[in-house]
A and B are shown apart, each in its own frame.
Chain A
Amino acid sequence: MIEAKNIDKFFGDHHVLKNISCSFEKGKSNLIIGQSGSGKTVLMKCLVGLHEVDEGAVLYNERNFSEMNFEQRKAIRQEIGMLFQGGALFDSMNVEQNVMFPLNMFTSKSPEEKRDRVNFVLKRVNLENVNSLMPSELSGGMRKRVAIARAISMNPSYLFCDEPNSGLDPQTAGVIDLLIQEITLEYEITTIVNTHDMNSVLSIGDTVAFIYKGELWWKGNKHDILQSENKELNDFVFGTELTSRLKK
């Protein structure tokens, strides 16, 4: 479980996160939603330590991540997998080398064991015979799946996904959502997904935190959203004609 306790984050005079407290549960897809610029990406970056919090703390199973130095964080980071918006695959490496990178860096497995693990996770994300392809040769959906394979190659306890569906067609986005949900349940991972895709919210949102102007405005799950009377949440979630019909 990951807990954010009274997190404040400033960029200069701009108060980006305002006293945010929430918890993200194990074995569930925990979604953070909000408009562009609401602070959800900053919150995720604070959770993984890419941004330091100005006030408050981030706890990984009651271990205070915010107070740790680089070396102490290294141990926790090896339990973290992250899927970035653009995939963040290493351009100079092929698919196999990308997925194998954390294994090379942090394990002493034999080359055969590492190759077996790479093939296993690639198969898990429904990719086969792509080991020698370079990232530039992959489609958007394939890049995301390779990034997921890399993120789960070390058997993480925590999986962070920053806008996993951005730039994908609805069908591929659905496949990625399903994959994230399956992996979360299968390996009992604490998964945190940052999104503004309402299909994702309504299909995989075991818990949903709505961030509005830097504050935690609403918390619930995919079923609660449909009944919620919160004006800002409804404006955001049901802002399009299609979703407003769904609400009705």
Chain B
Amino acid sequence: MSRVFSKPQKGVIFWKQLFNEFENLGIASLGIVAFISVFMGAVVAIQTAYNIDSPLIPMSMVGFTVRQSVILEFSPTVISLILAGKVGSRIASEIGTMRITEQIDALEIMGVNSANYLIFPKIAASMLINPILIIFSMWLGILGGWVAMVASNLVTTHDFINGLRVDFEGFTIFYSLIKTIVFAFIISSVSGFFGYETHGGALEVGQSSTQAVVISSILIILFNLVLTQLLLT
């Protein structure tokens, strides 16, 4: 752990690695994040609209519910779980393959701190890029909800936007981003650890990758509860 978080040996190379990881871990995930977010927001909106039976409940509740669901839970937690699968397996299998093909040994022989060189840029990049992905996801989730309502004529744009504005607290965004940063750390560090500790062959790389996803997902769910308890109560 101390080797991962030590000072990078060469700043220029660290920054280059960091920007590479922004692309590999962040920009490469935009498509899946966008797809899931739009459909998630749409489904939340449709389910809420169909469940409002009482004329005493205004249809603006749909906008309110979509906003709360997407910002508080769906974007930070569900998207982080998706990223644990996509990014986590990528990190673990990439580093694991480097281990079994002696590329990590080659780094060590040269005098490179391989743990720092390989894992630290991934952790830093995830913690910086994931909040941006999650904000993007929130925006698309709400957009998906609005499109679904307008397309199905269940709620007017006016009602939906009114609902979005009801009792909005900026702290909910802050809470979501705190969760996102913690989840990003979990995904990248757990996956990096399992990849780095791989020994054997292709089978073990697969096992490391699976373990990384499973352990990251379990930790995300546990920390979701802990952080919610700490920040919202």
Given contacts A50-B109, A75-B111, A82-B105, 17 further A-B contacts (CB under 8 A): A48-B109, A49-B108, A70-B113, A73-B111, A74-B111, A77-B109, A77-B111, A78-B110, A78-B111, A80-B109, A88-B102, A90-B106, A91-B97, A91-B101, A104-B10, A105-B9, A106-B110
By a beta-carbon cutoff of 8 Å, the part of chain B in contact with chain A is: 3, 9-10, 13, 97-98, 101-103, 105-106, 108-113
A105 engages B10 (CB within 8 Å): yes
Q: Give chain A's interface secondary structure class.
A: mixed
Interface size band for A: 20 to 34
A90 engages B111 (CB within 8 Å): no
A82 engages B109 (CB within 8 Å): yes
Instruction: Return chain A residues, CB-CB under 8 Å to B109.
Output: 48, 50, 77, 80, 82, 160
B111 engages A88 (CB within 8 Å): no
Within 8 A of B (CB), among A88-146: 88-91, 101-102, 104-106
Cα–Cα, bound, A14→B112 (Å): 30
Mark contacts of A57-91 with chain B using CB atoms, 8 A cut-off: 1 yes-contact digit, 0 otherwise.
00000000000001001110110101011101111
24 A-B residue pairings within 8 Å (CB atoms): A50-B108, A70-B3, A73-B111, A74-B111, A77-B109, A77-B110, A77-B111, A80-B109, A80-B110, A82-B106, A84-B105, A85-B102, A86-B101, A86-B102, A88-B101, A89-B103, A90-B98, A90-B106, A91-B97, A91-B98, A91-B101, A102-B110, A105-B9, A105-B10
A88 engages B103 (CB within 8 Å): yes
Cα–Cα, bound, A86→B101 (Å): 7
Q: How far is the CB of B6 from chain A (nearest CB, A)?
A: 9
Cα–Cα, bound, A48→B13 (Å): 25
Instruction: Return chain B residues, CB-CB under 8 Å to A78.
Output: 110-111
What is the chain A residue whose CB lies nearest that of B103? A88
Q: How far is the CB of A197 from chain B (nearest CB, A)?
A: 19
7 A-B pairs with the lowest CB-CB distances in the bound complex, closest first? A77-B111, A74-B111, A88-B106, A88-B102, A84-B102, A82-B109, A88-B103
Cα–Cα, bound, A84→B10 (Å): 25
Instruction: Return chain A residues, CB-CB under 8 Å to B97.
Output: 91
Q: How far is the CB of B11 from chain A (nearest CB, A)?
A: 12
Instruction: Return chain B residues, CB-CB under 8 Å to A102.
Output: 110
Instruction: Return chain A residues, CB-CB under 8 Å to B101.
Output: 86, 88, 91
B112 engages A105 (CB within 8 Å): yes
- Taking a contact as CB atoms closer than 8 A, the residue among B3, B13, B98, B108 that contacts A105 in the complex is B13
- Taking a contact as CB atoms closer than 8 A, the residue among A75, A91, A105 that contacts B110 in the complex is A105
Instruction: Return chain B residues, CB-CB under 8 Å to A82.
Output: 105-106, 109
Q: How far is the CB of B101 from chain A (nearest CB, A)?
A: 6
B103 engages A90 (CB within 8 Å): yes
Cα–Cα, bound, A191→B9 (Å): 28
Instruction: Return chain B residues, CB-CB under 8 Å to A48.
Output: 109
Instruction: Return chain A residues, CB-CB under 8 Å to B110.
Output: 77-78, 80, 101-102, 105-106
Instruction: Return chain B residues, CB-CB under 8 Å to A106.
Output: 110-111
Cα–Cα, bound, A74→B9 (Å): 11
Asked whether A104 and B13 contact (CB < 8 A) given A84-B102, A86-B101, A90-B103, the answer is yes
Cα–Cα, bound, A113→B185 (Å): 39
Instruction: Return chain B residues, CB-CB under 8 Å to A85.
Output: 102
Q: How far is the CB of B103 from chain A (nearest CB, A)?
A: 5
Q: How far is the CB of A48 from chain B (nearest CB, A)?
A: 6
Cα–Cα, bound, A106→B105 (Å): 17
Instruction: Return chain A residues, CB-CB under 8 Å to B103.
Output: 88-91
